[in-house]
Amino acid sequence: MIDLTGKVALVTGGSRGIGRATALKLAEAGCDVIVNYVTSRKAADQVAEEIVSMGRRVALVKADVSEQDDVCSMMEFISETFGRLDILVSNAATGGFRPLLVTTANNFEAAMNTNVRALIFLVQSAVPLMEQSSGRGKIVAVSSHGSHTALPMYGIIGASKAALESAMRHFALELGDRGFNVNVVQAGLVETDSTRLIPNSDEMFAGRRTKTMMGDRDLEASDVADAILYLSSPFSDLVQGQTLIVDGGAAIHV
Ligand SMILES: NC(=O)c1ccc[n+]([C@@H]2O[C@H](COP(=O)([O-])OP(=O)(O)OC[C@H]3O[C@@H](n4cnc5c(N)ncnc54)[C@H](OP(=O)(O)O)[C@@H]3O)[C@@H](O)[C@H]2O)c1
């Protein structure tokens, strides 16, 4: 049983999908949770209600993580309100599904700023507060198969995830000796608001069971959240700079 009572966790993009499942999982394990969102206030409110019903403290913070000022203000708020931060889950992402051949400068900036630049400023601004907290600091980022494979319409997001994974390895090198664990969860295909927008998403969802080894069971946001929970806990204190694939076995197929 993972017990994180007394810990404070920030989940970016905690209003929906994998972020939502992670915020709830961390609260179930005992954390007080800061749920970051940018547009979905109603969905964030629902997450907050569930967390409160578990007896934990919760705060909703509207912040666009691609904006450095928003990230800094969010961290100041956490410092003033909770006085500590133990777990940072960098989950928020964006990108749009299109071929690289028609990707514009704006598309590039949106994906890179939200999926990569945000991570760098989040970690930079979280480290001083996390270092004041007792115990090891846990930093987990969410990536995808597109970081090392080629998927249709996924070029710019895949490239951003490759950069994210590299940045996380380098953060592990810089922070490992300072009491942090820095790791990545690489998720297989989960049906969420984002993935429903992928052209031919129905085909992709239907095809999952031919690659995974889980019978009728499809990968869900809570399965990914379980891995994030593990990497947020003392059970993973000796896991450093790694990428944990959670996909029911899909990645080992050619
Ligand atoms: N679903 C999959 O199959 C899959 C597979 C591998 C990896 N992943 C990764 O898992 C993570 C979550 O994906 P998901 O499918 O759960 O997405 P989702 O359901 O579409 O949710 C996206 C979340 O990110 C937030 N967000 C987007 N841009 C933001 C910004 N600039 N600042 C702050 N928050 C922002 C959204 O906030 P609002 O609700 O307020 O807009 C929302 O909470 C992403 O990193 C994604 O790349 C997903």
Nearest protein CA to atom 2 of ligand 1, as residue: 190
Predicted local distance difference test score (pLDDT) of residue 37: 98
State the CATH class of domain 8-247. Answer: alpha beta
Residue 169 pLDDT level (bands cut at 50, 70, 90)? very high
Ligand 1 centre to CA of 91 (Å) is 6
Residue type, 57: R
pLDDT the model gives residue 80? 98
**Mean pLDDT computed over 21-46:** 98
> What's the Rg (C-alpha) of the chain?
17
pLDDT of residue 208: 86
List Cα–Cα distances, 112 to 128, 160, 178, 179, 188, in angstroms. Answer: 25, 6, 28, 28, 21
pLDDT for 6 equals: 97
Q: What is the reported pLDDT for 104?
A: 97
Over the stretch 64-115, which tens digit does the pLDDT of each residue have? 999 999 999 999 999 999 999 999 999 999 999 999 999 999 999 999 999 9
**Ligand 1 mutation pick, 16, 148, 198, max ligand atoms within 8 A of CB:** 16
- 71 touches 123 (CB < 8 A): no
Strand ranges (E), 29-155: 32-37, 58-62, 87-90, 137-144
- Whether 161 is a known active-site residue: answer yes
